Amino acid sequence: MFKKYIFLITLFFTFFCFSQDDTENYVIDFITTKQGLSHNYVSNLVSDDLNMKWIGTENGITKFNGYDYDYLKPSNELNGQFYKNIEILFLDSQSNLWIGTKSGGLSYLDIKNNRIKDYNYLIDIANEGDLRITSISQDSTGNIWVGTWKNGVFVIDLKKDKLIEHFNLYNPIYSIAKDFKNNIWFCSSNKLYQFNNKNKKTTTHKFNGLITNILSDKSRNKVWVATSGDDSKLYSYSYESQEIEAIETNVVSGFSKKLSIDKDNRIWIGTWK
């Protein structure tokens, strides 16, 4: 019998699922500060090409290779600075790590050379010095899309190292997603924005509840949309009908719903409260 190890890390909200058959046996391990995690409040986790886990916490980033722990925090050893309270992590197409913080803005980690570059000089337009980054994604041309708590969405051209677009929105951008047609979707409050990467036009769709997550689903030709509040429906934009559709799930979340899709194209819904 062959075993699969699964590591669970304490999250402020979490969903976890797996299927099991007679030939597999699963072992679940919990990682906390006792094992080497830098903080028990984990906000985000990504896995790179070498299966290295990068874990965002309230005390910097914990790097875990399956055996040993290493830590990334603001220090003179790193070429650049970032605030240690991590909100979001994102691996770009070159497997470099983008770091969004709760009040220190945006940084980029060159993993190979262990160098950090601060990108606040491009997105801190109002010179506030207190930027909260809530979502990060990348489009098909390599541009980085950055969602913030109250400053809207910024689009950065990495090749030219400049800001090329700013959607000036005042509500938190909880999710940004590139779909299977290379369009970019992002949300602000109860509005869903669809950015067509070919003609550069933006279409707006309005919902009753607060939008908390967006998920691309190529197998169904849809983009799924999760909302919070008393609404127990799961919404989707259908490229076939070009309309917003809804299905009843009986899943309610007072604060946040998160979506994931597995290899069998099943949709999983995680809730917070």
The count of C-alpha atoms lying within 13 angstroms of the C-alpha of 85, restricted to the half-sphere facing its C-beta, is: 9
Residue 75, pLDDT score: 61
**How far is residue 260 from each of residues 79, 154, 224, measured CA to CA in Å?**
35, 25, 10
Those residues whose C-beta lies under 8 Å from the C-beta of residue 40, and which sit 6 or more positions away, are 10, 32, 33, 57
What pLDDT does 77 receive?
A: 55
Alpha-carbon distance 42 to 58, whole Å?
A: 7
- For 37-173, give the CATH class: mainly beta
Structure tokens at 33: 């500060």
Q: Which residue has the tokens 């194209």?
A: 265
By the 8 A CB rule, do 202 and 220 touch?
no
- The total number of residues shown for the chain amounts to 273
Residues of the chain with CATH 2.130.10.10: 37-173
Q: Which amino acid belongs to residue 254?
A: G
List the structure tokens of 64. 């875990």
Instruction: Report the relative pairing of strands 69-72 and 162-167 from DSSP bridges.
Output: unpaired
CA distance 269 to 14: 10
For the record, the structure tokens of 171 come out as 């509500």
Taking the complete model, does pTM exceed 0.75, yes or no?
Answer: yes
Residue 124's DSSP bridge partners are none
φ, ψ (nearest 5 deg) of residue 219? -60, -30
Q: Tens-digit pLDDT profile for the chain (273 aa)?
A: 444 444 444 343 434 444 444 455 666 778 888 888 888 888 889 988 888 999 999 888 999 988 899 988 766 555 445 567 899 999 999 889 999 999 889 999 988 887 888 899 999 887 877 889 999 999 999 999 999 999 999 999 999 999 999 999 999 999 999 999 999 999 999 999 999 989 999 999 999 889 999 999 999 999 999 999 888 999 999 999 999 999 999 888 888 889 999 989 999 998 887
CA distances from 156 to 96, 161, 176, 181 (A): 15, 7, 14, 20
User: Amino acid identity, residue 127?
Assistant: N
